[in-house]
Chains A and B, each alone.
Chain A
Amino acid sequence: MDPFLAETELTITRWHGVTAPNEPARRMAADLINTIAAFEALRGTLQFEDEPASFEAALLDTRETP
């Protein structure tokens, strides 16, 4: 088995008690390698001030005004 997938399955079982239900689940778990790559590409953009509530403020600040 692919070492990354084996490690991922182990992590999920250990932390959540969930086992891979089927082959599509394993294939999609293996694809998390691309998620990591996408996040690696975004490193350096996160600001210290960013916090979740800023999204609602951004919706209002950028909204359509009559």
Chain B
Amino acid sequence: MATFADLMLGNLSGDAVTLADLTLVQAAEAVRDGDATSRDLLDACWQRMEAVNPTLNATIWVDRAGAVQAATAADAARDTNSWSGPLHGVPLAHKDMYYQAGKRCTCGSRLRTDFVPDYTSTAIERLSTAGAYSFAGLNMAEFAQNPTGHNREFGDCHNPWNPPYITGGSSSGSGAAVAARFVYAALGSDTGGSIRLPASACGVTGLKPTQTRVSRYGAMPLSFSLDNVGPLTRTARDCARVMSLIAGRDPKDPTSSHLPVPDYEGALDGDVRGMRIGIPTNYFFDGADSAVSQAIETAAEVLRARGASVTRLTLPVMDAVTGYGGIISRVEAATIHAEWMRHRAQDYAQHLSGRMYPGFAIPAPYYVESLSRRGPVLRAFAAEVFAQVDVLATPTIRTALPTLAETDIDNGPPGTEVTFLAVSANTRPFNYLGLPAISIPCGFDANGLPIGLQLAGRPFAEARLLRMADAYQLDTDWHTRRPPLLGTTSDNPGIILA
């Protein structure tokens, strides 16, 4: 099985390398070009999953029979030159909150253990139309409401780079499965950082699109105003391919944008000359770990060497961004869960019911004020910031990654919630502002856990962010490192400490 993989991944060698190590784009091309069958890909992913998942706990359910059926159908279609699209025959798996008609969807919670939706989410539908199929429901924070990956009902998800540490959440299984290379790409959702945090913690690429860019139809709601659907992948190019498929107007989600979808993959030309990068001097580095700060500076230098300029700037209206941004999701989540909070509160983990509970005490005028100020705050932020720079560069997580134990509110001492909530301090602002932001790996901390570089831009600047992320990945190899769990290869030692 390693023969084709060795061919595609000339820099890798060793027994541990399989077709599961291909990127999403490589896997799709392998099927298209007849170098591998869909069944080959599925078997490689399945074999890898069986090897590493007992350590990671990245899945909630698996569907071997359905996946084999889909792979067989894809291969039969290929034999008759009947192509579905740019992901023909590629096995995927997604955060277990995307509805698929007739398939179990737990939302990571005891309260939805047996829930079977009767309709399919638009994002899943579009990936399916492109030829992909899914073989598992991936672990996640209960109802997508923690930044760490804890899950009382289905078990905590563990970091492939060092299992006692958090994966980041709430798309914990998506981050872990892509990093452990048993899923080529996975959908996550991002209301306060839930795509970018696991991308950062697990060393993969994750994009939170502009608010309204991707339909939320059929995705479990957490906060109607702040929820976003987006991909976690190994590379920016993979991310671009998924975005090209899932973005765009959906009549089933009236909030989705009418703007045309650019050719994200076609924009990846490595050219960042003239692009202006801004590194904030306020907020995003407050209390940052020195290894994290240094990694961001070094990453900026890589992009400067490619022709981008790097400047420092003070961000405006950050008090409003953080003050108002903290209100909306708490109120909306409390409202959505009110009936269960009244009658089945003990069926939530403590950290979850504990976070929702104060939402009931926030006065309606505070909530409306937070929504009302969102437009004016965005205008003020954009006018000042994007007059000076095109892209902001910050750490995705500003501290060294904590362990699961250090952030376990349910079993930890009072005050644990401070460490828990600090994980998402750098991602939440871009949810309130509605801006697109991508996290890409840019180093490792002293404990061998990945560090994420967060790039954020104007509304609908996904193409620019993907181009910059891809350019960075052309000059660095952080995204190609393999977690030690997968075994090392002679040419790629995996982890290198900062």
Interface residues of A (CB under 8 A from B): 8, 11-12, 15-25, 27-29, 31-32, 35, 38-39, 41-42, 45-47, 50-64, 66
Contact = CB atoms under 8 A, between A and B. Distances in A.
A11 B141 CA distance: 29
Interface stretch (B89-97, B356-364, B478-486): B356-364
Most central of A22, A41, A56 by chain B CB within 10 Å: A22
22 contacts: A16-B341, A20-B357, A27-B414, A28-B355, A29-B357, A29-B361, A31-B358, A32-B358, A32-B362, A45-B373, A50-B372, A50-B373, A50-B376, A54-B376, A58-B382, A59-B257, A60-B459, A62-B383, A62-B386, A63-B461, A64-B458, A64-B461
A60 to B, nearest CB: 7
Contacts of B355: 28
Interface stretch (B78-86, B196-204, B319-327): B319-327
B277 to A, nearest CB: 15
Given A51-B372, A59-B378, A21 B348 contact: yes
Given A21-B350, A25-B358, A51-B372, 11 more contacts: A19-B345, A38-B319, A39-B366, A46-B369, A54-B376, A55-B375, A59-B211, A61-B379, A62-B383, A63-B459, A64-B463
Interface in B321-372: 322-324, 326-327, 338, 341-342, 345-346, 348, 350-351, 353-355, 357-358, 360-362, 366, 368-369, 371-372
**Interface bin, chain B:** 35 or more
A52 B372 contact: yes
Interface of B: 210-212, 255, 257, 259, 262, 319-320, 322-324, 326-327, 338, 341-342, 345-346, 348, 350-351, 353-355, 357-358, 360-362, 366, 368-369, 371-376, 378-379, 382-383, 386, 409-410, 414, 417, 434, 457-461, 463-464
Contacts of A12: 357, 360-361
A59 B319 contact: no
A27 B342 contact: no
B212 A62 contact: no
A19 B379 CA distance: 40
A25 B353 contact: yes
Contact of A15 (B326, B360, B457, B458): B360
Contacts of B346: 21
Nearest to B348: A21
Contacts of A53: 375
Contacts of B382: 58, 62
B250 to A, nearest CB: 16
Contacts of B386: 62
A52 B286 CA distance: 31
Nearest to A50: B372
B417 A64 contact: no
B481 to A, nearest CB: 31
A21 B378 contact: no
A42 to B, nearest CB: 6
Nearest to B370: A39
Contact of A21 (B324, B345, B375, B376): B345
B267 to A, nearest CB: 10
A16 B342 CA distance: 8
A27 B420 CA distance: 14
B409 A35 contact: no
Nearest to A52: B371
Contacts of B459: 59-60, 62-64
B373 A21 contact: no
Most central of A8, A41, A45, A56 by chain B CB within 10 Å: A45
A6 to B, nearest CB: 12
A57 B346 CA distance: 41
A54 B350 contact: no
A59 B463 CA distance: 16
